[in-house]
Amino acid sequence: MGEDLPDSIRKKSKSMDFKFNYKDLKTDFYVFHKYTKESGGAQDNQKNDVIFSMQSAKSPYPCEKNFVVFYICDGEYYDEQKMNELNNHINGISNFYLIKSENLEKCLKKYYNYFNEY
């Protein structure tokens, strides 16, 4: 999985959980998912894995591929403060999204509607 994914993501980041397509979009969607129930030292390691994946996936080179990466972080551990902290690592990267799984469908619909307007 992920052979068509840009090298900066495929080779440097943590393992991706799955890839999918949505409706008739010519976009590949990749998902890195973490579920962390409660706070603690070991749980901080999972957050650091997400940060490492985000930082490693950034590339200074233009990409010819049409892709989106969702970082989905669920569980009580990922409160507003931690989500804001994580989001700081992908701010300004238009095809990277940090969301909760409950917001995936909404995000996909928004993305789909945006590209069907043009």
33 located within any domain: yes
2 located within any domain: no
69 beta partners = 30, 96
Domain membership of residue 104 as a residue range: 7-116
1 located within any domain: no
| pTM of this structure | 0.84
37 located within any domain: yes
Q: How many domains does the chain have?
A: 1
Rg over alpha carbons for the chain, rounded to the nearest Å, is 14
Buried/exposed 15-51: b ≥16 CB within 10 Å, e otherwise: ebeeeeeeeeeebbbbbbebebeeeeeebeebbeebb
* Per-residue confidence band for 1, with pLDDT thresholds at 50, 70 and 90: very low
99 located within any domain: yes
Q: Is residue 2's pLDDT more than 70?
A: no
76 located within any domain: yes
User: Residue 115's Cα: distance from chain center in Å?
Assistant: 19
For 7-62, how does the pLDDT look when each residue is reduced to its tens digit (9 = 90+)? 655 554 557 888 999 999 999 999 999 999 877 777 788 898 899 888 887 766 66
Average pLDDT along the chain:
84
